[in-house]
Amino acid sequence: MNTALAEIKADGTLDKIISSYIPAEGEEAGTYHYVQTVTEGENLVMATNAEFPPYEYKEKGDYTGIDIEIGRAIADKLGMVLKVEDMAFDSIISAVSTGKADIGLSGFTVTEDRKKQINFTDSYTTSRQVIIVRK
């Protein structure tokens, strides 16, 4: 998994995906969207909670977002077809640890408790938490 992730980082795919949804300050969102090229073969089952735009959500009945596109790109690198399984966030770790899903992408934070149940890949993005106040 880390090898595939490193490849999409190195070839610029990851940056294109992220900047299409979250442009750098002063830039406009891009129009790039990753389209999976592997359409037949073994499935890579991805567990997610498709309620966290722009990372994962449903639009016009299809799953989309940063994590979905990253999943598609990784599946391509592995020669597999991405199959998205939408579920409650609290069910994702269990789905991966029991083999119901192969991977989980859904805004996970690495914690010691989670490390006891699953393995984490290298990170692919960082975020900041802020407090909002009235203008």
Q: What pLDDT sits at residue 77?
A: 97
Which tokens in the block code for residue 121? 């890949």
**Residue 115 phi, psi dihedral angles, 5° rounding:** -60, -25
> For position 90, which CATH number holds?
3.40.190.10
Domain membership of residue 92 (yes or no) is yes
Sheet holding 81-86, edge to edge: 81-86, 43-48, 103-104
Domain membership of residue 90 (yes or no) is yes
Domain membership of residue 122 (yes or no) is no
Range of the domain at 8: 2-115
**Contact, 64 vs 75, CB < 8 A?**
no
Domain membership of residue 128 (yes or no) is no
Domain membership of residue 111 (yes or no) is yes
Q: Determine the Cα–Cα distance for residues 17 and 135; give it in Å rounded to an integer.
A: 32
Q: Strand 56-59 relative to strand 51-52: parallel, antiparallel, unpaired? A: antiparallel
State the DSSP code for 106. S
The count of structural domains within the chain is 1
Segment 2-12, tens digit of pLDDT: 999 999 999 99
pTM of the model: 0.92
Domain membership of residue 68 (yes or no) is yes
Identify which of 125, 56, 126, 119 has the alpha carbon closest to the alpha carbon of residue 87.
56
Segment 68-85, tens digit of pLDDT: 999 999 999 999 999 999
